């Protein structure tokens, strides 16, 4: 006998995307609170930013407004500029002192 596979059609709604965004944001928050490496910390902050962008897009799609999607476009442009500057600073610091932690960076306040 041939076994019949029953495929259940699952509709992905905005709730699924919001749950995914909440999980991504939670992972980013845990990473910021636990990790000491500035590069990992920076990546966790970017993960949280992308979770917020996913929330904007999901809610904009749900209510049928383009405002959330256009906001995400501008947030991504600003985030790209922030990544260039922030990553450049972090890489320059890590080249000078490879084992630098966030406590070492606190001394840069001047």
DSSP, collapsed to helix, strand or coil, labels residue 104 as helix
pLDDT tens sequence for the chain (110 residues) = 566 776 777 888 899 999 999 999 999 999 999 988 888 998 999 999 999 999 999 999 999 989 888 999 999 999 999 889 988 888 888 888 888 887 777 766 65
Q: pTM score, two decimals?
A: 0.80
Q: Domains of the chain: which residue ranges?
A: 36-99
Nearest Cα neighbor of 90 from 101, 74, 79 is 101
């Amino acid at each position: 006998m041939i076994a019949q596979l029953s495929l259940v059609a699952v509709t992905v709604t905005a709730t699924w995307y919001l749950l995914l965004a909440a999980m991504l944001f939670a992972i980013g928050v845990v990473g910021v609170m636990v990790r000491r490496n500035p590069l990992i910390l920076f990546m966790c902050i970017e993960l949280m930013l992308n979770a917020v962008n996913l929330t904007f897009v999901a809610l904009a799609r749900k209510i049928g407004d383009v405002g959330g999607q256009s906001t995400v476009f501008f947030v991504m442009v600003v985030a790209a500029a922030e990544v260039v500057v922030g990553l450049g600073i972090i890489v320059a610091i890590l080249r000078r002192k490879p084992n630098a932690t966030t406590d070492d960076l606190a001394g840069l306040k001047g």
